[in-house]
Structure 1
Amino acid sequence: MTETVDLLKPTEAAVISGVELNIVNHAIDRALPARVVHRGKGRGVWAEACFYIAFYHRSAGRLTADERRFAILDIDKRVEAAGEGASRWLSLRRHCTVRHDFLALDLETFWAETHERWRRYLAARNVVKVDPDILGGTPVVAGTRVPIHDVAASVAAGLSVSRIASAYPSLDEEQIELATLYARANPLQGRPPERRALTGAKILSKRTIARRRLSA
């Protein structure tokens, strides 16, 4: 699996950073270095910006906004100077300590947690297929005709992973978890569609329950 340097949508960055979408937008406007931000058409951030976003948000109770911005800019200048191209994540790890006057920070924990979420998101993208010949281009789990967002809707409705897996025999638990992750990072645009039954699900049992008549 290659760690690409893709431009991420704010919704993707929110999932990888482990924060809400409004936090990502605030960081884009107030905290992130220009190098890792795209503010034109198709607003977004480069993947390594998620490390900065996670740190900026979670350290808010301990550090001032100026201290957090200083730390981010200090690290980013060293990463940019290193010029390690596609190995930005490794470069971030090498430069994730900050020492200036009385300020001493070690951001290794932020790096490890964010990088793990990035790794999982790359895995999630690998299980998704978009093909105009399959359900009109609806994102599906690769090798199946199961829509990603239908799986995520089942999880959101409170169905257990094991129950969803039994309803979709073509999916295993890992695929269900990754499909749900992908759907969170890439929500459907516009008005949410009506929740459908489990597409492609097998009926394992069926029974009829008589309605109880209310007494007068």
Structure 2
Amino acid sequence: MPNEFSAREVAELANVPVRAVDKAIEEKVLAGIRAAAPGRRRMLPLHAVPYAAIVARLPVTLSLETKRDLARALGKRSTARMTAEPLEIAPAVTVDVSALVGSDLAERAERYGKAREDFVHVDPDIMGGTPVLRGTRMTVYSVLGRIDGGDSVDDVLEDNPHLTREAVETAVFYARTHPIIGRPGGRPWAKAA
């Protein structure tokens, strides 16, 4: 779903450590949306992105109940209002959310969610279920590998004129927030020596 995000996606979009998002989940401040199928991870709602950004940037420490109230208040707002308007987090304490995290944070997260749905495709019959750019057999990890290897988005687009800049940028973001799980390839101990 476009408005559901993994903990890593929330952390990257909010520009906070993943541990901060994990802590909010553990404290039951952010509740995951039930997984659509068994074995799939729970996803977080859109309001988790501005929540994580606000809590990380506030110059005060909030109580657990205040954090829950903040998450509930953000969850009740529309996307356009989520970060555009001030938010009362306690009696006589109002946070200017747009000054703290930017007025378009929720909209950027929503745009990424839609782009992810439009451009990233996971099908067990295509590349063994590895996420690919829709309509191709190009994995998101191969696109990330090119970018990390020194190529620019323009280089990738030059080699693949059928792709859009948004598709390539979405693939890179998706690959960074959904790392391949398993044993690392090659000889990582050789780099350490």
Distance 2:166 2:74 in 1: 34
Aligned to 1:64: 61
Distance 2:80 2:150 in 1: 38
Q: CA deviation at 1:89?
A: 2.8
Q: CA RMSD in A?
A: 3.2
Aligned to 1:207: none
Percent identical residues: 26
Unpaired runs of 5+ residues, structure 1, are 195-216
Q: Does 110-119 or 141-150 show the bigger shift?
A: 110-119
TM-score normalised per structure 1: 0.67
Aligned to 1:38: 32
**Pair 1:15 & 2:12 matched:** yes
Q: Which has the larger radius of gyration?
A: 1
Aligned to 1:103: 93
| Contact 2:8 2:178 survives alignment (8 Å) | yes
Deviation beyond 6 Å, 4+ runs, structure 1: none
Distance 2:33 2:115 in 1: 27
Aligned to 2:22: 25
| Contact 1:17 1:114 survives alignment (8 Å) | no
| Contact 1:152 1:183 survives alignment (8 Å) | yes
Distance 2:48 2:124 in 1: 32
Give, as a single letter, the amino acid of the residue that structure 1 aligns with 2:172: T
> For 2:104, what is the secondary structure of its paired residue?
helix
| Contact 2:2 2:116 survives alignment (8 Å) | no
TM-score normalised per structure 2: 0.73
Aligned to 2:125: 133
Distance 2:129 2:113 in 1: 21
**Pair 1:171 & 2:163 matched:** yes
> Number of matched residues?
179
| Contact 2:6 2:44 survives alignment (8 Å) | yes
Unpaired runs of 5+ residues, structure 2, are 187-193
> For 1:65, what is the secondary structure of its paired residue?
coil
Distance 2:159 2:121 in 1: 20
| Contact 1:16 1:50 survives alignment (8 Å) | yes
